[in-house]
Amino acid sequence: MMKMKSGVEQAICILIMLATQIDQHPIKSAILSKRLSVSDSYLKKVMRSLVVSGLVDSESGKDGGFKLKLTPEEITMLHIYEAIEGTHSFVRPTNLAEKVFLRAEKIKDKKKEVLAVFFDAEQQFKARLQKYTLDSLLVEGSDRVDTVDWESIVLSAEI
């Protein structure tokens, strides 16, 4: 019934890279796409979604790139999910029930019952995502993940 786009996982990885970038310097899309082994054009679509949703800032110019707009503590998994998937409900009735239940009152009742279950599950799913922040992924025990100079790592891997 529900399939998440691969962009959600990529967005989480991108945000981790931005959060761990040394001195919060902007990271160019080419560096992000090389490190994640995704096409630069696809990565730019994901980045556009993150910028439009207010999670990431885009800075132009020679020293530009992308950086977090919010702190890792402020960014929830729900923010990331909705930046890529949108905020619409993932429950979409198709009216197939009319083809299998022959009595109109059964169609209406059963359709309502099934939709209620899925809407409830969706609310629980989103409430759970709201509880986890990007920051929770940056903590290892009592230690925080180290900051990194992603550009030097990616460029040194090419040599």
Q: What is the pLDDT of residues 2-53, one digit of tens each?
A: 567 788 999 999 999 999 999 999 999 999 999 999 999 999 999 999 999 9
Catalogue all structural domains in the chain, each as residue range(s) with its CATH number: 6-90+133-158 (1.10.10.10)
Q: Which two tokens stand for residue 32?
A: 């992000």
Whether pTM exceeds 0.75: yes
Share of the chain above pLDDT 70, in %: 92
* pLDDT at residue 114 greater than cutoff 70: yes
H or E element that contains 140: strand 139-140
Query: Which phi and psi (to 5°) does residue 59 adopt?
Result: -115, 125
Alpha helices in 4-149 (DSSP H): 6-20, 29-36, 40-52, 77-85, 97-100, 104-131
Cα 139 from chain centre:
19
